[in-house]
């Protein structure tokens, strides 16, 4: 059975048990501060488990893209080394939301595995929860009794909280679980050690394939458990492991899920997979990581230098590094692999193909940048080599850490290069540096969040901000959040006009006003479906009725900028082409920023045309057409843009300004009529990443002010230049005149420099076979000082020259020696200049024959020549 059939059989099986089969949610998580990427099949359904939102179906089955590279579930370091952990993998799941429970779930799991997939019963083991004293939980006898009817009791094992109590994160829904393991070893191997002893023991051939979780609890921040309003089933089966079991392979990488990529990599590297442990690991790393990288970028997460973007960048760099070190890929390669992946997976995940060329460009650019960094790091190692040799043939911990931190060299790579050079690495020292950095970042980000204080349970927030700036509200829950420097409160209201930051639009500010007090709302944020009003203090009377009032003037600017963003998006597609896709945006009261895919600079003329189109739409006063609850299919039919990243089963809000021009899915606040925007002006166009451009623009009075300010500046220039007509011509002329004068001045100064040189030559003093010159001189810049020194060297033999000068208020010293003096008389310009620099409170250095120094104290300059004479006399004596 190939992998596509295996996946399909899963869907068909659960469809036959009345499950609705839905597509995978995007890998990238948008509105959840506790999670960067989906790490399990249940994460997209979190709100249903918590009871924040009703599930659209009671029974669902799906395959969910998961990424386990950060946070509670992090398998990154295993990947490549073992045969069954991946960064990105598919989790097949069947779900009951308050519907069936343990009995059905376990029976169906058994039926699917043993009857549909025909896995041998005598190779399967199951585990159930043994209970836990700390959490005051009993053992899961119910699950045990169900299994007993299907499988012999010596194949049912009890497991601890670590393996048999599933938790998504530090807080959130959780419950006991029952795992199914398979023993894939040969008969001979089994004869030696019974499979039972290897379950949950990290044996590569005795692996967990399926976990059935019975969600019953919610873990709170204080560590306690509370019962969820209903019981649910959440199951997760590792698709790649299932394929290994059914296809009777000993490694996930030997299945048809990975083989196309493995063969491609091996072919390009000119090696055979399976012959050398080192190259095999590198091949597995690359075959695995390309999936995480390509899916993440496709789902909207570009590599970057912070947060989720940094996680992706690190994965990408990890694979470049393995390819670079073990497969000799010195040029970008991963981007080619993205195509192999897309060819193979597009039938299940069509988004891979649709975004392929964009994804490839992003990857290639990242690869190039990192390969350059690697190269710089190698060079740095080369230049420090002497120092390491002197340091007992050791690369010190600090340098190893610097290589890691700035050049992306992990310790193993540094160690590898060190070995080639006959050096070793101070690994303990590296560990110390690493620990220190961790502490620094831990301290910077430590937050303490109290549990919610719930005043009105089961009340969800009614958002009324599309229609109003004000509402009557009650607080339904609140909590305190403390970080190192501040303490704030999060208030959730039963009804609110405040828009929470999302979709690029910033959060509203305003006030909560009761009869007795007024509380400022500093910002509004979203956490899943909760709208958090952020304040610096708690109302004294928290149960009062509040008038919740958005800062309307600010909100109006935001509306204008948001609607203008839609008009800009449409204009971009019209002028540049339909490949333009939104890659990010920011809508604030001050400006709008729009990032989009496009592969070249937007020309000036195109910018003017785009601006013109937007202003035309504004002048046409097009009314807003808003559909608050359109099913996704209908929105698609209207040609809505930005369909990526929507979760399945959601109703969407469609915003259009004349359906011909602009139709978008959008949750933001908008003007009622484009005329309200008033005026639109682009203020910059730039590049943000490979294939991504950024336009910033302003609207309404901000745009007016911007234009006025430009005009004011122009007028100021007119005043200075003293002309009303042909300003650019006049400035051009001024500029040319200036260049002519500058040249004349330079020539004049050089002539003076020549005269100065002549007089210095005359002053040369004979000292023990040396021509000694030391003088304080006047020159206009450092280049001239250098030129003077080098010119002197041309005409005077056996020269020891010391020049002191004040340049732009700062003291400088230059020392020049004839080459023969360096070798014969044991003189050294670097040493000399360092000694002399003490007089001017400075330092410097250079080469043995020429060195310079700068300092802070020009008052010391006059003593430099005399000191130089003394120093040189002394060294000539020795």
Q: Which of residues 90-119 bind ligand ATP (CB under 6 A)?
A: 91
- Asked whether position 169 contacts ligand ATP by CB under 6 A, the answer is no
Tell whether residue 510 is a contact of ligand ATP (CB under 6 A): no
Binding site for Zn(2+): what residues are annotated? 562, 566, 666, 670
Q: Determine the angle formed by the axes of helices 397-407 and 411-420, rounding to 10 degrees.
A: 120
Query: CB-wise, 255 or 582, nearer to ligand ATP?
Result: 255
Touching ligand ATP, residues 15-54 (CB under 6 A): 40
Residue 172 interacting with ligand ATP (CB under 6 A)? no
Interface with ligand ATP by CB under 6 A: which range of 57-65, 113-121, 208-216, 867-875? Answer: 208-216
Output 251 or 551, the one with its CB closest to ligand ATP: 251
Q: What is the DSSP string of 53-87?
A: S--S-SEEEEEEEEE-EETTEE-GGGTTTSSS--S
381-440 residues near ligand ATP, rule: CB under 6 A:
none
Integer Cα distance of 768 and 513 in angstroms: 92
- Report, in Å, the least distance between residue 291 CB and ligand ATP: 11
- Which residue's C-beta sits nearest to ligand ATP? 238
Q: With 0-12 CB in 10 A as exposed, 13-18 as middle and 19+ as buried, what is 480?
A: middle
Site for ligand ATP in 831-870 (CB under 6 A): none
By C-beta, is 102 or 562 nearer to ligand ATP? 102
469 touches ligand ATP (CB under 6 A): no
Taking CB under 6 A as the criterion, the residue among 51, 238, 811, 842 binding ligand ATP is 238
H-assigned helices in 234-276: 239-246, 259-269
Rounded CA-CA distance 140/179 in Å is: 13
For the bound state, the minimum distance from the C-beta of residue 302 to ligand ATP, rounded and expressed in Å, comes to 23
Nearest approach in angstroms of CB 241 to ligand ATP is 5
Provide DSSP, 718-744: HHHHT-SS-HHHHHHHHHHHHHHHHHH
**Under the criterion CB under 6 A, does residue 75 sit at the interface with ligand ATP?**
yes
Between residues 40 and 509, which has the closer beta carbon with respect to ligand ATP? 40
Tell me which residue of 691, 3, 666 sits closest to 303, measured CA to CA.
691
- In whole angstroms, the minimum distance from the beta carbon of 53 to ligand ATP comes to 23
Written as six digits, the tokens of 822 are: 């360096």
| CA–CA distance, 583 with 576 (Å, rounded to integer) | 15
339 is a site residue for ligand ATP (CB under 6 A): no
Q: Which of 48, 210, 217, 546 is in the footprint of ligand ATP by CB under 6 A?
A: 210
Can residue 89 be called a binding residue for ligand ATP (CB under 6 A)? yes
Task: Check residue 208 for interaction with ligand ATP (CB under 6 A).
Answer: yes
CA distances in angstroms from 19 to 53, 95, 99, 505, listed in the order given: 19, 8, 11, 37
Residues 682/593, Cβ–Cβ less than 8 Å: no
State which residue, 91 or 550, has the beta carbon closest to ligand ATP: 91
Shortest distance (Å) from residue 66 CB to ligand ATP? 7
Of 237-245, 536-544, 655-663, 845-853, the segment contacting ligand ATP by CB under 6 A is 237-245
d(CA 539, CA 520): 10
Q: Is 319 exposed, middle or buried (0-12, 13-18, 19+ CB in 10 A)?
A: buried
Q: CB 298 → ligand ATP: shortest distance, Å? A: 19
**For ligand ATP, which is the closer residue by CB, 210 or 401?**
210
Angle at 820 between CA 819 and CA 826, to 5 degrees: 100
CA-based torsion, 386, 387, 392, 393: positive or negative: negative
Tell me how far apart the alpha carbons of residues 38 and 40 are, in angstroms, rounded to a whole number: 6
Sole window of 86-94, 107-115, 222-230, 430-438 interacting with ligand ATP (rule: CB under 6 A)? 86-94
209 binds ligand ATP (CB under 6 A): yes
Cβ proximity to ligand ATP, 293 vs 302, nearer residue = 293
Q: Is 62 a residue that touches ligand ATP (CB under 6 A)?
A: no
68 in contact with ligand ATP (CB under 6 A): yes
234 scored as a contact of ligand ATP (CB under 6 A): no
Nearest-approach distance from CB 610 to ligand ATP, in angstroms = 45
Between 238 and 844, CB nearer to ligand ATP: 238
C-alpha torsion 354→356→361→365, nearest 10: 130
175 binds ligand ATP (CB under 6 A): no
Dihedral angle sign, alpha carbons of residues 301, 304, 307, 310 = positive
Does position 670 bind ligand ATP by CB under 6 A? no
Interface with ligand ATP (CB under 6 A), residue from 80, 131, 173, 236? 236
Q: Determine the 3-state secondary structure of 540 from DSSP.
A: coil
- Tell me which of 7, 185, 232, 241 binds ligand ATP, using CB under 6 A: 241
Binding test (CB under 6 A) with ligand ATP, winner from 140, 183, 240, 595 = 240
Q: For the stretch 97-107, what's the b/e string if a residue is b when 16 or more beta carbons lie within 10 angstroms of its beta carbon?
A: bbbbbbebbbe
Binding site: which residues?
Answer: 562, 566, 666, 670
- Which residues does residue 657 pair with via DSSP β-bridges, in sequence order? 624, 662
7 binds ligand ATP (CB under 6 A): no
Positive or negative: CA dihedral 541, 545, 547, 548: positive
Only segment of 83-91, 536-544, 586-594, 674-682 that touches ligand ATP (CB under 6 A): 83-91
Q: Please answer whether residues 828 and 822 qualify as being in contact, where contact means their C-beta atoms are separated by less than 8 angstroms.
A: yes
Closer by beta carbon to ligand ATP, 240 or else 364:
240
Stretch that binds ligand ATP, among 232-240, 307-315, 395-403, 577-585 (CB under 6 A): 232-240
Give the CA distances from residue 589 to residues 168, 335, 617, 746, in Å, rounded to whole numbers and listed in that order. Answer: 37, 39, 21, 51
Dihedral angle, C-alpha 771, 776, 782, 786, nearest 10 °: -10
Residue 647's SS3 state is coil
Stretch that binds ligand ATP, among 231-239, 658-666, 683-691, 793-801 (CB under 6 A): 231-239
d(CA 471, CA 496): 6
Among 7, 86, 232, 598, which residue interacts with ligand ATP (rule: CB under 6 A)? 86
Rounded to an integer, what distance in angstroms lies between the CA atom of residue 509 and that of residue 496? 12
Contact set for ligand ATP, span 764-793 (CB under 6 A):
none
The answer to whether residue 288 forms part of the interface with ligand ATP (CB under 6 A) is no
Residues that bind ligand ATP (CB under 6 A): 40, 68, 75, 85-86, 89, 91, 208-211, 236-238, 240-241
């Amino acid at each position: 059975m190939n992998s596509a059939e295996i996946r399909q059989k899963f869907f068909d099986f659960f469809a036959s048990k009345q499950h609705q089969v839905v597509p995978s949610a995007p890998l990238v998580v948008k509105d959840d501060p506790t999670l960067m990427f989906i790490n399990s099949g249940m994460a997209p359904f979190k709100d249903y488990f918590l009871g924040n939102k009703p599930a659209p179906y009671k029974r669902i089955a799906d395959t969910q893209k998961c990424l386990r590279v950060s946070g509670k579930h992090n398998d990154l370091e295993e990947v490549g080394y073992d045969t069954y952990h991946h960064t990105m993998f598919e989790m097949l799941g069947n779900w009951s939301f308050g519907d069936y429970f343990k009995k059905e779930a376990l029976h169906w799991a058994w039926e699917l595995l043993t009857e549909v997939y025909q896995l041998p019963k005598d190779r399967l083991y199951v585990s159930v929860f043994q209970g836990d004293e700390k959490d005051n939980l009993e053992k899961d006898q119910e699950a045990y009794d169900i299994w007993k009817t299907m499988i012999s009791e010596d194949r049912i094992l009890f497991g601890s909280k670590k393996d048999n109590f599933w938790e998504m994160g530090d807080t959130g829904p959780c419950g006991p679980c029952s795992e199914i393991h398979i023993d894939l070893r040969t008969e001979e191997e089994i004869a030696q050690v019974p499979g039972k002893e290897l379950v949950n023991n990290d044996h590569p051939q005795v692996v967990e394939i399926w976990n059935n979780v019975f969600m019953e609890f919610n873990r709170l921040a204080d560590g306690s458990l509370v019962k969820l309003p209903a019981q649910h089933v959440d199951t997760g089966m590792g698709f790649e492991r299932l394929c290994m079991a059914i296809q009777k392979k000993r490694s996930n990488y030997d299945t048809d899920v990975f083989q196309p990529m493995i063969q491609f990599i091996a072919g390009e590297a000119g090696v055979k997979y399976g012959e050398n442990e080192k190259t095999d690991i590198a091949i597995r790393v690359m075959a695995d990581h390309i999936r995480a990288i390509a899916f993440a970028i496709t789902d909207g997460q570009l590599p970057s230098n912070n947060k989720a973007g940094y996680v992706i960048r690190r994965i990408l760099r990890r694979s470049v590094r393995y390819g670079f070190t073990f497969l000799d890929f010195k040029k970008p390669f991963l981007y080619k692999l993205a195509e192999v992946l897309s060819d193979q997976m597009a039938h299940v995940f069509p988004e891979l193909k649709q975004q392929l060329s964009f994804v490839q460009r992003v990857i290639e650019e990242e690869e190039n940048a990192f390969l350059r960094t690697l190269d710089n790091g190698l060079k740095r190692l080369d230049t420090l080599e002497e120092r390491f040799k002197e340091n007992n043939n050791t690369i010190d911990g600090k340098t190893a850490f610097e290589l890691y931190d700035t050049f992306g060299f992990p310790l193993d790579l540094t160690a590898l290069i060190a070995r080639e050079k006959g050096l070793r690495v101070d690994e303990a020292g590296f560990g110390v540096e690493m620990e220190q950095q961790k502490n620094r970042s831990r301290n910077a980000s430590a937050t303490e969040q109290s549990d919610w204080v719930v005043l009105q349970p089961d009340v969800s927030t009614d958002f009324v901000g599309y229609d109003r700036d004000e509402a009557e509200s009650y607080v339904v829950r609140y909590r305190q959040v403390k970080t190192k420097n501040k303490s704030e409160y999060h208030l959730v209201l039963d009804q609110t006009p405040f828009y929470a930051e999302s979709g690029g639009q910033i959060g509203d500010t305003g006030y909560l006003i009761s009869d007795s007090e007024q509380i400022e709302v500093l910002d509004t944020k979203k956490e899943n479906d909760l709208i958090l009003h952020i304040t610096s203090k708690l109302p004294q009377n928290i149960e009062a009725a509040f008038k919740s009032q958005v800062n309307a003037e600010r909100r109006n600017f935001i509306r204008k900028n948001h609607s203008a963003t839609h008009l800009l998006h449409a204009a971009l597609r019209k002028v540049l082409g339909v490949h333009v896709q939104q890659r990010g945006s920011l809508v604030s009261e001050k400006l709008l920023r729009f990032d989009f895919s496009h592969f070249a600079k937007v020309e000036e003329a195109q910018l003017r045309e785009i601006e013109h189109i937007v202003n035309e739409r504004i002048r046409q006063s097009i009314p807003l057409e808003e559909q608050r609850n359109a099913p996704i299919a209908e929105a698609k039919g209207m040609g809505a843009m930005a369909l990526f990243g929507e979760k399945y089963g959601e109703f969407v809000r469609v915003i259009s300004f004349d359906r011909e021009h602009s139709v978008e899915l959008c949750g933001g606040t908008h003007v009622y009529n484009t005329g309200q925007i008033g005026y639109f002006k682009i203020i910059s166009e730039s590049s943000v990443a490979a294939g991504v451009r950024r336009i910033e623009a302003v609207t309404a009075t901000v745009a007016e002010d911007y234009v006025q300010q430009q005009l004011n500046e122009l007028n100021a220039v007119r005043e200075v230049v003293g002309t009303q007509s042909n300003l650019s011509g006049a400035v051009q002329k001024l500029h040319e005149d200036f260049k002519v004068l500058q040249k004349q001045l330079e020539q004049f100064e050089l002539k003076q420099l020549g005269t100065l040189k002549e007089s210095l030559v005359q002053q040369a003093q004979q000292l023990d076979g040396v021509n000694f010159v030391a003088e304080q001189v006047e020159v206009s810049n450092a280049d001239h000082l250098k030129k003077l020194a080098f010119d002197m060297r041309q005409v005077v033999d056996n020269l020891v020259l010391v020049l002191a000068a004040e340049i732009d208020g700062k003291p400088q010293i230059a020392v020049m020696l004839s080459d023969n003096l360096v070798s014969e008389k044991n003189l050294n310009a670097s040493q000399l200049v360092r000694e002399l620099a003490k007089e001017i409170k400075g330092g410097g250095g250079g080469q043995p024959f020429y060195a310079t120094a700068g300092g802070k104290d020009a008052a010391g300059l006059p003593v430099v020549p005399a000191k130089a004479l003394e120093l040189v006399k002394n060294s000539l004596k020795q």
